[in-house]
A and B are shown apart, each in its own frame.
Chain A
């Protein structure tokens, strides 16, 4: 059944054994044992299976592997390397800034949706390093999180945006940035002793 299709996945060219109509998701999970993209709906409704195809987010659950023959796929696992290529860094960082920001914000609950949330946010930040609150909501709106971690994910995206600017533009955080961040704040938490 070998389909003689070839994919470049996270920088490595791989031959595909599955039938050409097989959704890319099953090739990535069952053949290549990747644990980033994962099944959520199979209907292009949730974003659980998102990967980057030549830098653009797609839903691998409804994309036949034949449609991506010869193309370059980046999964959650490959984001640091992809980021390094984009920014022409000598070496891939440990984590893509959005991954680091999600840890810093402790945004995750079950984390199952975070493949999609992170991949989509990485795509957004690659096109717009300073997305506004509105732009974040718009870009992310096709990605669901049943645990309700949207507010923290929004904070993580803003934090990653800050990190990327600090690291690559050489610009210091300006007063205006701080104001914007404060104005956009999705919420503060408080611990009260009684």
Chain B
């Protein structure tokens, strides 16, 4: 089990103040002086960026980081500490701390001896974007391997230095000593201190057996929290460049149909004559304002008189599902197993349940609107952004500026939580365009209505589901037909500035009916999943939003299963359990049932005439690889239609949990955010544009509505680590819907479960 089990996360030290010291970037510069060939890093506050840049960006003279070179991944310093270069960005999930736990574990360093630097295309390895909860799942094997390789090299050096064979050496806290020969020791720092390893990664260095782990699986605190709590942490929104202007975009309040974009009909620059320091900048239909003072930029964007041409072609949020169902779609069978048609019609399908379910467009709604800084020069550009994937962002910005990717340096700064592809690319492009037009560095900040109104939303979905069971409750057939459109491939800034036609991503997982989420957790012999792809150019632009589409799939699928349990007069938990073959799915289901002290009963078997009624629901969920389960306890006021989620229990089995505490925090956040999405969240739009533009028109869950939460991390020491940032979202969606039914005996076929929608459903029944 040893070789399979690693995970990684990086964490710098915990309680030590290292994380707040601008140390590592500085060390890197020292490293350069010491003759290393690595590249100069920016100072941690970003304030140095302009100065370095003015001297000519050093990265352009350096080859990009080569992933085969050990030096790309880590450097060991004279003071017996190490810097680990990580290609994944911190999104407030603790993955940095976890990946450092993995590196320190493999190197036999103490956690306080390792740290990292922010992701930067000129320094960090390109590990791909930080999505699909990938930081640990995909990031840790590479980082773990690099650390193991480094350890081997260091042991060989120590063997020579100490005159003892490698087999007789032991390491603790980066000090190599000879077993049985006290006093004979040397530190990693003394062996290599700030010099290059100059070796290629062989992929053959032995990995530490899981049984010997001391750091991985433990719960050190996150290294970023003290600074965040003190007010000394530098978020993207705090970064300033010398000589910069403040920029704001000017767009219609709320996007229209993706394919139509927006055209400037008229623009009156004299309308901001009362703000003499502000300038209007325009490229095609991309309009922005810049000013030395931020308030001037805000006022200029607000006061600029501009008329837009936007066609009234959207269906409107009230009619979006009917419009999608009426579309000519591109259909594809995602999965076909057994013979569904026969299984549904044959005599062994004793019970069949079916339904049509609807999930709205929902917004990432980052708490701090996105922004970016750009300093575009004649032949190079600096970009400071909070992209989940700085390499891809660099590429698209380069194209937009007419440069080669190597001419653009993209540096990552953490913004507020993004939960997928929010406006970070759009704002990075907008900053670059403004800086190019202004001829100066520009700090662009989206306003609240920009973020809410121009978000690439999680797509709306219609699901038709049909499931059959035999007389004993064994599932025999499952069919899911899903309607939605794909993700936007061209950002609004580019679309407006260059007139690049809107385009969607092609077929791809996570924007289509998801086999893991639609029936995949249950043992079903006959299954058919069909994707009906709608033309997204007629709708709002979409992108991945935490556990893309899975909440809607779960809402449909788990409720239909629940319906079968009701028909069979079986308990919802027992019914699911008997239809699970995989012990890891059973594990999370059992975990939440036990934690919630689940009392068995058929769904809706205790419905009463009382004004306030209670119910419980249970469901499974996933995104791609990990296993999630949830139980919801809800209370419904049948007079007001108000649904209160009282307590949520969520379990995730993500294989080996590098830091179970971080997974618990992730679960807790997912439970609350999923409750918010099920009860409150929907993007509203009329025929022309989006109308939910702030926290009043797009409400999210608040303190007073917040349920109690019980997160459960299922630790699997013998399993490969997988993501833990998404899987409880879908399980929670299904559990809340089933709990509502248990309380009322009424099926909700559309979320969010707003009082208005609930009252309508209760009256109809």
A144 proximity list for chain B (CB < 8 A): 367, 695, 700, 702
* B226-259 CB contacts (< 8 Å) to partner A: 226, 228-235, 237-238, 240
**Residues A112 and B417 in contact, CB atoms below 8 Å apart:** yes
Q: Is B225 in the interface zone, CB < 8 Å from A?
A: yes
Q: Is A140 in the interface zone, CB < 8 Å from B?
A: yes
A122, B664: Cα distance in complex, Å = 26
**Residues A110 and B703 in contact, CB atoms below 8 Å apart:** no
Q: Is A41 in the interface zone, CB < 8 Å from B?
A: yes
Q: Could you tell me the distance in whole angstroms from the C-beta of B354 to the nearest C-beta in chain A?
A: 33
Q: Is B714 in the interface zone, CB < 8 Å from A?
A: yes
Please, which residue of chain B has its CB at the minimum distance from the CB of A37?
A: B231
A190, B709: Cα distance in complex, Å = 11
* A158-184 CB contacts (< 8 Å) to partner B: none
**Residues A38 and B368 in contact, CB atoms below 8 Å apart:** yes
A191 proximity list for chain B (CB < 8 A): 657, 660, 664, 712-713, 715
Q: Could you tell me the distance in whole angstroms from the C-beta of B389 to the nearest C-beta in chain A?
A: 17
A114 proximity list for chain B (CB < 8 A): 228-229
A118 proximity list for chain B (CB < 8 A): 229
For B669, give its contact among A18, A43, A75, A149 (CB under 8 Å). Answer: A149
B582-603 Cβ-contact flags toward A at 8 Å (1 or 0) = 0010010001000100000000
B447 proximity list for chain A (CB < 8 A): 42
B93 proximity list for chain A (CB < 8 A): 109
For A194, give its contact among B224, B419, B709, B715 (CB under 8 Å). Answer: B715
B228 proximity list for chain A (CB < 8 A): 108, 111, 114
Q: Name which of A46, A145, A185 has the most chain B CB atoms within 10 A of its CB.
A: A145
**Residues B710 and A112 in contact, CB atoms below 8 Å apart:** no
Q: Could you tell me the distance in whole angstroms from the C-beta of A83 to the nearest C-beta in chain B?
A: 13
**Residues A45 and B694 in contact, CB atoms below 8 Å apart:** yes
A29, B231: Cα distance in complex, Å = 12
**Residues B231 and A76 in contact, CB atoms below 8 Å apart:** yes
B703 proximity list for chain A (CB < 8 A): 136-137, 140-141, 143, 150, 153-154
For A146, give its contact among B224, B416, B706 (CB under 8 Å). Answer: B416
A43 proximity list for chain B (CB < 8 A): 448, 694-695
B474 proximity list for chain A (CB < 8 A): none
For A38, give its contact among B238, B695, B696 (CB under 8 Å). Answer: B238
A165, B713: Cα distance in complex, Å = 33
A40, B696: Cα distance in complex, Å = 14
Q: Could you tell me the distance in whole angstroms from the C-beta of A113 to the nearest C-beta in chain B?
A: 5
B715 proximity list for chain A (CB < 8 A): 191-194
- Give the interface size class of chain A: 35 or more
Q: Could you tell me the distance in whole angstroms from the C-beta of A39 to the nearest C-beta in chain B?
A: 6
B235 proximity list for chain A (CB < 8 A): 35, 38, 112
Q: Name which of A103, A185, A189 has the most chain B CB atoms within 10 A of its CB.
A: A189
Please, which residue of chain A has its CB at the minimum distance from the CB of B235?
A: A112
A18, B299: Cα distance in complex, Å = 14
A153 proximity list for chain B (CB < 8 A): 703
A26, B713: Cα distance in complex, Å = 42
Q: Could you tell me the distance in whole angstroms from the C-beta of B647 to the nearest C-beta in chain A?
A: 8
Q: Is A115 in the interface zone, CB < 8 Å from B?
A: yes
A42, B93: Cα distance in complex, Å = 26
**Residues A42 and B673 in contact, CB atoms below 8 Å apart:** no
Q: Could you tell me the distance in whole angstroms from the C-beta of A57 to the nearest C-beta in chain B?
A: 14
Q: Could you tell me the distance in whole angstroms from the C-beta of A82 to the nearest C-beta in chain B?
A: 13
**Residues A102 and B234 in contact, CB atoms below 8 Å apart:** no
B687-729 Cβ-contact flags toward A at 8 Å (1 or 0) = 0000000111000111110111111111111000000000000
A5 proximity list for chain B (CB < 8 A): none
A41 proximity list for chain B (CB < 8 A): 448, 694-695
A111, B227: Cα distance in complex, Å = 10
Q: Is A106 in the interface zone, CB < 8 Å from B?
A: yes
B676 proximity list for chain A (CB < 8 A): 148
- Evaluate whether A19 and B231 lie within 8 angstroms (CB atoms) in the complex, with A41-B695, A151-B706 already known: no
A145 proximity list for chain B (CB < 8 A): 367
Q: Is A186 in the interface zone, CB < 8 Å from B?
A: yes
**Residues A108 and B229 in contact, CB atoms below 8 Å apart:** yes
A95, B91: Cα distance in complex, Å = 25
Please, which residue of chain A has its CB at the minimum distance from the CB of B222?
A: A106
Please, which residue of chain A has its CB at the minimum distance from the CB of B226?
A: A103
Q: Could you tell me the distance in whole angstroms from the C-beta of B604 to the nearest C-beta in chain A?
A: 27
Q: Is B365 in the interface zone, CB < 8 Å from A?
A: yes
- Evaluate whether A152 and B710 lie within 8 angstroms (CB atoms) in the complex, with A108-B225, A146-B673 already known: no
Q: Is A22 in the interface zone, CB < 8 Å from B?
A: yes
**Residues A146 and B704 in contact, CB atoms below 8 Å apart:** no
Q: Is B126 in the interface zone, CB < 8 Å from A?
A: no
Q: Could you tell me the distance in whole angstroms from the C-beta of B535 to the nearest C-beta in chain A?
A: 31
A76 proximity list for chain B (CB < 8 A): 230-231
B696 proximity list for chain A (CB < 8 A): 45
For A192, give its contact among B415, B584, B702, B714 (CB under 8 Å). Answer: B714
Q: Could you tell me the distance in whole angstroms from the C-beta of B373 to the nearest C-beta in chain A?
A: 14
For A187, give its contact among B295, B673, B709 (CB under 8 Å). Answer: B709
- Evaluate whether A109 and B230 lie within 8 angstroms (CB atoms) in the complex, with A190-B712, A192-B713 already known: no
A85, B327: Cα distance in complex, Å = 66
**Residues A187 and B367 in contact, CB atoms below 8 Å apart:** no
A21-60 Cβ-contact flags toward B at 8 Å (1 or 0) = 1110010011001111011111101101000000000000
B716 proximity list for chain A (CB < 8 A): 194
**Residues A113 and B367 in contact, CB atoms below 8 Å apart:** yes
A146, B237: Cα distance in complex, Å = 17
Q: Could you tell me the distance in whole angstroms from the C-beta of B59 to the nearest C-beta in chain A?
A: 27
Q: Is B434 in the interface zone, CB < 8 Å from A?
A: no
Please, which residue of chain A has its CB at the minimum distance from the CB of B277?
A: A1
Q: Could you tell me the distance in whole angstroms from the C-beta of A175 to the nearest C-beta in chain B?
A: 23
**Residues A146 and B712 in contact, CB atoms below 8 Å apart:** no
A5-29 Cβ-contact flags toward B at 8 Å (1 or 0) = 0000000000000110111001001
A76, B232: Cα distance in complex, Å = 9
- Additional 17 contacts, C-beta under 8 A, given A45-B696, A103-B225: A35-B238, A41-B448, A43-B448, A95-B229, A110-B91, A110-B92, A112-B368, A137-B704, A140-B703, A148-B673, A149-B669, A150-B701, A185-B708, A189-B667, A191-B657, A193-B717, A194-B715
Can you list the 5 inter-chain pairs with the closest CB atoms, starting with the nearest?
A: A148-B672, A110-B92, A112-B416, A36-B231, A111-B228
Interface CB pairs A-B, < 8 A, 21: A35-B235, A35-B238, A39-B368, A40-B448, A42-B298, A46-B367, A76-B230, A77-B230, A99-B229, A103-B221, A103-B226, A106-B665, A110-B91, A144-B700, A144-B702, A146-B365, A150-B703, A187-B668, A191-B713, A192-B712, A194-B591
Q: Report B's interface with A, CB cutoff 8 A.
A: 91-93, 221-222, 224-226, 228-235, 237-238, 240, 293-295, 298, 365-369, 414-417, 419, 445, 447-448, 584, 587, 591, 595, 647, 651, 653, 657, 660-661, 664-665, 667-673, 676, 694-696, 700-704, 706-717
Q: Report A's interface with B, CB cutoff 8 A.
A: 18-19, 21-23, 26, 29-30, 33-36, 38-43, 45-46, 48, 75-77, 95, 99, 102-103, 106, 108-115, 118, 136-138, 140-141, 143-154, 185-194
